Amino acid sequence: MTLEEFGINLFKVVCVFSLVMPMIAYSVMAERRISAFIQDRIGPNRVGWQGILQPLADGLKAILKEDFTPAYVRTAYFWLAPAITFIPAFMTMAVIPFGSTIGHQKAVIADLNVGVLYSFGIVSLGVYGIVLAGYASNSKYPFLGGIRSSAQMISYEIAMGMAVIPVFMLVGDLNLSKVIDFQRTHGWLIMYAPLSFFMFLISAFAETNRLPFDLPESETELVAGYNTEYSSMKFAMFFMGEYANMIAASAMMVTLFFGGWMLPWITEPASSIAAGFLHIGIFLGKMMFFMGVFIWVRWMLPRFRYDQLMDLGWRRFVPLALANVLVYAVALWARALMK
Amino acid sequence: MIVDRKKLSFWERLYIPAILGGLRVTVKHFFSKKVTMQYPEERWTVPEGYRGAPYLVKDQEGRTKCVSCQLCEFVCPPKAIRITPPGPQGIPGVGNVEKGPSEFEINMLRCIFCGFCQEVCPEEAIFLMKDYSLTGLTRKAMIYDKEKLLALGGVHNDTINKWGRKAEEAKEQGMLP
């Protein structure tokens, strides 16, 4: 890697980071407003026009609050856990092609050959943060939350991973840019693998600990689950990590099933810089749609019982995903024979 | 009593009807009228007979009705009222109100809004009004003095017009102050 490439990549990282951070802030804002509207309330609308500056006020509050470390916690892990939750959520974004090209540059930070494996690997790191938080807090509710989340995330990672195998069998490559290329010529993958998308979506809810699968937090039983003992910026980091995970999951869904930066009538890679930005805009628009789905579903469905969650993961999704893989394998094999 | 669990049909077990039902309810509420009252701008209508903050009133001719009898001061359970009577000379220039208070303070931090002062007042000079959110930056700011109480209390439409009649009486006797 030359110095120039290094500089360009660094610039991309800074760009993506400074795009995702406000997105997190405004997802929280959107969540609060949408929640309020669904509950016949108005929601925060005081800071700035229609509460548009509320995230700044929230951030300021999180920083200024007392950062309290209880005396009984395992301090080193207690400090480490928020960072371990927060960082992997961002690292997933590295392989997402969030646009076509800008000038001569591809709009992706790392065009990895093993793209999707990388992101699954990183996502599975996220569970350590939560487990560690539960362990380090040295208190019963976080502990239960940590245990629940580890079991849940590991279970659904399997279902999630298996659900997307047909996609890569169809594309024949793990690189996410190649997945986009395939969709450019063949149409969006949702048409080829709807069941995969369906399972991926539900597993994503479980992976990001969102309702109806928010058992690690389940405030009615566990106070606040793994982040009960956290306050101030450490709590905010868990919070931001959760939303960053949601953004990453949305981005993955858009990339894998909904054609990334493409619209049915926009399929050619950008020739001008303006078109490049337009493609990024399309990608972000699709992502925001899925963020909306995440938020909306929270108020639509009640929380699953833990045994129902495990039952759904292991006894429904894993066999279904395996069968799905088999069906696609046979179909592809038959197609190859016919040629 | 044992209630048998309802057997779910296949369609219901797919969980889809529940999702659709949830979607219907949330969409309906999303677009429905909001119940939030945006407080400082919108306020609830205070019902008649509400016991808010006690203020002093003037009659229609601008006279302070209070005559410093100090009954309210004595009846006040939390001792929130403090009255300084004018003394034997009276205050010059108050018409012929005999004993208008030279100072009248209500400590709103102590006041419990019981309404005893209003009930006990023989001159109908103090009333519990409809103000319910009294704020101040210091404790001192919450001790309302005579001027403030009178300004907040405004005019009470007095049908008896005691001091008006007293003034007429004095004029007839050629004893205007």
Domain boundaries, chain B: 54-171
Chain B contacts of A38, Cβ < 8 Å?
26, 29-30
> Above 70 in pLDDT, residue B96?
no
A224 shares contact with chain B (CB less than 8 Å): no
Of B117, B106, B116, give the one whose Cα is nearest residue B152.
Answer: B106
- pLDDT mean over B4-18: 84
By Cβ distance, the residue of B29, B35, B38 closest to A38 is B29
Interface of B with A in 41-80 (CB under 8 A): none
Report pLDDT for A136: 87
Long-range contacts of A177-186 (CB under 8 A, 24+ apart): A177/A97, A177/A106, A177/A108, A177/A111, A177/A115, A179/A115, A179/A116, A179/A255, A179/A256, A179/A260, A180/A97, A180/A255, A180/A259, A180/A260, A180/A261, A180/A262, A183/A259, A183/A260, A183/A262, A184/A259, A184/A262, A184/A267
How far is the C-alpha of A79 from the C-alpha of A309, rounded, in Å? 30
- Pick B121 or A111 by higher pLDDT: B121
- Which residue type occupies B31? F
Chain B contacts of A300, Cβ < 8 Å?
19, 22-23, 25-26
> Above 70 in pLDDT, residue B94?
no
- CATH architecture assigned to B54-171: 2-Layer Sandwich (3.30)
Q: Where are the beta strands (DSSP E) in A64-130?
A: 101-102, 105-106
> Above 80 in pLDDT, residue B167?
no
- CA distances, A191 to each of A175, A187, A195, A325, B117 (Å): 20, 8, 10, 16, 79
Q: Which tokens belong to A205? A: 């809810």
**In degrees to the nearest 10, what's the CA dihedral of B139, B142, B143, B145?**
140
Reported as a single tens digit per residue, the pLDDT across B49-68 is 899 999 998 887 777 888 88
Locate the domains of chain A by residue range: 61-338
How far is the C-alpha of B95 from the C-alpha of B162, rounded, in Å? 12
Report pLDDT for B119: 92
Buried b / exposed e along B4-40 (16+ C-beta atoms within 10 A): eeeeeeeeeeeeeeeeeebeeebeebeeeeeeeeeee
Chain B contacts of A198, Cβ < 8 Å?
none
Chain A contacts of B36, Cβ < 8 Å?
36, 40-42
Q: Which bin fits A43, alpha (ψ -120 to 50), beta or left (φ > 0)?
A: left
Q: With bands split at pLDDT 50, 70 and 90, how would you rate the model's confidence at B90? A: low
Q: Consecutive sets of 10 residues in chain A, 339 residues long: mean pLDDT of each?
A: 82 86 88 90 85 86 85 86 86 82 74 81 83 85 84 85 87 82 82 86 86 76 78 84 88 86 76 81 89 88 85 88 91 87
By Cβ distance, the residue of B26, B29, B34 closest to A42 is B34
> Above 60 in pLDDT, residue B177?
no
Q: Report strand pairing: B103-107 vs B81-84.
A: antiparallel
Reported as a single tens digit per residue, the pLDDT across A220-259 is 777 777 788 888 888 888 888 888 888 888 988 888 888 8
Q: Which tokens belong to A292? A: 């909306």
Test the B interface: residue of A201, A300, A304, A312 with most B CBs within 10 Å: A300
> Above 80 in pLDDT, residue B118?
yes
> Above 90 in pLDDT, residue B78?
yes
Q: Which tokens belong to A131? A: 């487990």
- pLDDT mean over B126-143: 90
By Cβ distance, the residue of B18, B35, B38 closest to A40 is B35
**Phi and psi of B56, rounded to 5°?**
-90, 150
Q: Hey, how many other C-beta atoms are within 10 angstroms of the C-beta on B173?
A: 8
Of A2, A29, A12, A15, give the one whose Cα is nearest residue A288.
Answer: A29
**Using alpha carbons only, what angle is made at residue A326 by residues A321 and A327, rounded to the nearest 5 degrees?**
95
Test the A interface: residue of B24, B26, B27, B39 with most A CBs within 10 Å: B26
- Going B167 to B168 to B171 to B172, the CA torsion angle's sign is negative
B36 shares contact with chain A (CB less than 8 Å): yes
B23 shares contact with chain A (CB less than 8 Å): yes
Indicate the burial class of A214 (C-beta count within 10 angstroms; 0-12, 13-18, 19 or more).
buried
Indicate the burial class of A179 (C-beta count within 10 angstroms; 0-12, 13-18, 19 or more).
buried
Report pLDDT for A117: 85
> Above 60 in pLDDT, residue B97?
no
Chain B contacts of A41, Cβ < 8 Å?
34-36
Q: Which tokens belong to B112? A: 């419990």
